[in-house]
Amino acid sequence: MSALEKLYEGKAKILYKGPKPGTLIQYFKDDATAFNAQKKGTFANKGLLNNYISEVIMGYLEKIGIPTHLIERIDDRQQLIRQVEIIPLEIIVRNIAAGSICTRLGLTEGDPLPRPLIEFCYKEDALNDPLIAEEHIVTFGWATEDELATIFELTQRINDFLCGLFAAIGIQLVDFKLEYGRREQDGDIHVILADEISPDNCRLWDIKTGEKMDKDRFRRDLGGETEAYTEVARRLGITIATENT
Ligand code: TMP
Ligand code: ASP
């Protein structure tokens, strides 16, 4: 195969030009960062595990009618995806208090929230992805009112579904981050789910033991990252034969 044309390299993934117009190849790296890349590291098989986990989760979401960018997983490290214009928002859903909301609002980690909470951050590394209000989004034109309504609706459905999916495998979905993109189809612009859904952008706690099974193991120097991600994959029914890339 001829060398792929690199279009963009992010902290955890690389995007290459895809084989057909309107497609990209998303490559999952083993690099891990936290606190806007102030902390950097790498752990074995992270990219591979996130690739498989995100494939399975996005596959389930497609089945319940959530449009996603995933076309297919190509190999251990790569996915063929639909090209989108990324909406510059990080949509955070919280079911239980953890992470930044605890410091920001003085909550105790582990406290259930009265109802699922959706927060927005402006996706701009140079500004440290600041928390913003809905008003900012429309005022600055980052998304239209209609797009925002779609984002709310899809995000609530994704949270309902994922809470059930993880509960069924003994995992509490504490919080997670989503990104959406715009895609033109038949002359209309559609909002579809982009990026990835994996232990990198979810907080996942074992229901029985409370053990953290996500990137907080790296953020908080707890160790055992590969083992935790592997266990999430195993419970999702993923069997990975070899690392061949
Ligand atoms: P937070 O508690 O640090 O705000 O994180 C909330 C959720 O969003 C958590 O599941 C981790 C995820 N997240 C990302 O995926 N990327 C990020 O850059 C940040 C800050 C959080
Ligand atoms: N992805 C983020 C970063 O390094 C942080 C995080 O996931 O905590 O910038």
Question: Mind listing the pLDDT tens digit for each residue in 208-228?
Answer: 999 999 999 999 999 999 999
- pLDDT value at residue 187: 94
State the closest ligand 1 atom to the C-alpha of 200, by its place in the atom list counted from 1. Answer: 15
Atom 2 of ligand 1, residue of closest alpha carbon: 99
pLDDT at 245 over 50: no
Q: What is the pLDDT of residues 8-46, one digit of tens each?
A: 999 999 999 999 999 999 999 999 999 999 999 999 999
Ligand nearest to the CA of 90: 1
Q: Is 11 in the pocket of ligand 2 (CB under 6 A)?
A: yes
Q: Is 100 in the pocket of ligand 2 (CB under 6 A)?
A: no
Rounded average pLDDT over 100-116: 98
Counted residue by residue, the chain has a size of 245
Ligand nearest to the CA of 219: 2
Give the percent of the chain with pLDDT over 90: 96
Residue 242's pLDDT band (cuts 50, 70, 90): low
pLDDT at 244 over 80: no
Per-residue CA distances from 60 to 35, 107, 123, 164, 204 (Å): 30, 33, 26, 12, 18
For the sheet with 180-185, list strands across it. Answer: 85-86, 180-185, 188-193
- pLDDT value at residue 1: 53
Residue 240's pLDDT band (cuts 50, 70, 90): confident
Q: What is the pLDDT of residues 46-64, one digit of tens each?
A: 999 999 999 999 999 999 9
Binding-site residues, ligand 1, Cβ < 6 A: 92, 99-101, 129, 175-177, 201-203
- Reference 30, options 46, 49, 8, 13; nearest CA is 46
Q: Is 129 in the pocket of ligand 2 (CB under 6 A)?
A: no
Pocket test for ligand 2, best of 28, 36, 174, 202 (most atoms within 8 A of CB): 36
CATH dotted code for 6-82 = 3.30.200.20
- Structural contact between residues 235 and 199, judged by C-beta atoms closer than 8 angstroms: no
Q: What is the pLDDT of residues 180-192, one digit of tens each?
A: 999 999 999 999 9
Q: Specify the fold of 86-224.
A: D-amino Acid Aminotransferase; Chain A, domain 1 (3.30.470)
Q: What is the pLDDT of residues 133-175, one digit of tens each?
A: 999 999 999 999 999 999 999 999 999 999 999 999 999 999 9
- Which ranges in the chain are annotated with CATH 3.30.470.20? 86-224
- Which ranges in the chain are annotated with CATH 3.30.200.20? 6-82
State the closest ligand 2 atom to the C-alpha of 129, by its place in the atom list counted from 1. Answer: 9
**Helix 225-235 and helix 46-63: axis angle, to 10°?**
30
Pocket test for ligand 2, best of 29, 33, 103, 222 (most atoms within 8 A of CB): 33
Atom 1 of ligand 2, residue of closest alpha carbon: 34
Mean pLDDT of the chain: 96
Q: What angle do CA 216, 219, 221 make, to 5 degrees?
A: 95
pLDDT at 243 over 90: no
